[in-house]
Amino acid sequence: MNNEDNIFLMKNNIKEYDWGGINFIPNLLGDKIDGKPKAEMWLGAHKTFSSKILYKNEYVLLSDFLEDHKELLGCNDEFPFLFKVLSANKPLSIQIHPSKDIALKGYESENNKGIDINDPKRTYKDKNPKIELIYALSDFYALKGFLPLDEIKKICEILELNFDFQSHKDFVKTIFDLQMYELEKIIEKILKNLDLIDNFRGYWFNEIYNIYGIDVGLLVFLGMNILKLKPGEVVYTNSREVHAYLKGDCIELMTNSDNVIRAGLTTKYINKDEMLRVGQFEEGKLSFLNPDFQDNFSVFRLPNTNLKLIQKKINENICINRNSAMVLLVLDGCVSVNKSLNLKKGESIFIGRKAENLFIDGDGEAFIAGFN
């Protein structure tokens, strides 16, 4: 295709994590279902898993391309966001993401220790903080922050768990300090008494146990908030906030980072000490995002960043300012860009900064990730 308009077709990589769904991402892309989990499709320029773009009739890494074409970014020296399609068929790890200062120190420390960037035990893969939002594409279940302390104590009392804690962090540390034989006895005891706690929490405890078995994350789960998002609802997670995704399909927008500190419900590397050191253990706050409506667009702005996610059902000609780089994904239907590029469901483009506006029409639904 002609790249004079600074618009480039993308080819995106897919993470086949074991928790991923089988159908959603292949159906989006029109690919054959091969039975392997397709957990995340990354649209961006992260150095460990960059998308490719079609440039001069060949696909090149977007990360490499932007090193030589920073003028296409706009006001940033590096690509500031990571855009994902996520499909979870079973729970992800209980995790946190670092703040800016923690990420920088952690990255430099692991470099100095000689830990390879692709080592499974590597925690800090870049220098960036991680703040994220999810836009639910289906009913979406997640854990986010903790219940009020008195509610956690009540659950422990009902289940006859002899935990002594005076703060949310104490609650988590008490669990992390358990020996395996203690963990086994406690979880077996809870399984016999699930009917004593609320049905929703009991259901998910049993579901998680059936997947992960005896796992320290099960006890942390007992004290966490469970959210159910309806399609179209958006929630964000700040750095250092304890969270996990349980099940569902979503769009994710986040700062350009792959830094994750895990502490249960995973086959990946667990670092309980680091989670206790840098995590924020506090009562969860409902952090649903309401959109700004601009020219009939729904614009979701990610707090504490300059990132934004635009959602639009397209059935008319629309115009978008191109003062910074963007990524557009067609979720459904067909979309035409600048009257010259026709995109179908699952296709995506990198849109470089340009003085002229972007014109979109067609009949479909699109998501655009960008920044101010």
Is 207 among the annotated ligand-binding positions? no
Q: Which two tokens stand for residue 155?
A: 């659950």
Residue 147 and residue 223 in contact, taking contact as beta carbons nearer than 8 Å = yes
Is 311 among the annotated ligand-binding positions? no
Q: Which residue has the tokens 């920044």?
A: 371
Task: Please write down the long-range contacts of 176-181, taking CB distance under 8 Å and 24 or more positions apart.
Answer: 176/216, 176/263, 176/272, 176/276, 178/216, 178/219, 180/214
Sequence-ordered list of residues with C-beta below 8 angstroms from that of 286, at least 6 positions apart, any chain? none
**Catalytic site residue from 122, 240, 262, 353:** 262
Residue 132 and residue 253 in contact, taking contact as beta carbons nearer than 8 Å = yes
Is 97 among the annotated ligand-binding positions? yes
353 classed as catalytic: no
Is 46 among the annotated ligand-binding positions? no
Residue numbers in the known binding site for Zn(2+) are: 95, 97, 132, 243
**Residues involved in catalysis:** 262
Residue numbers in the known binding site are: 95, 97, 132, 243
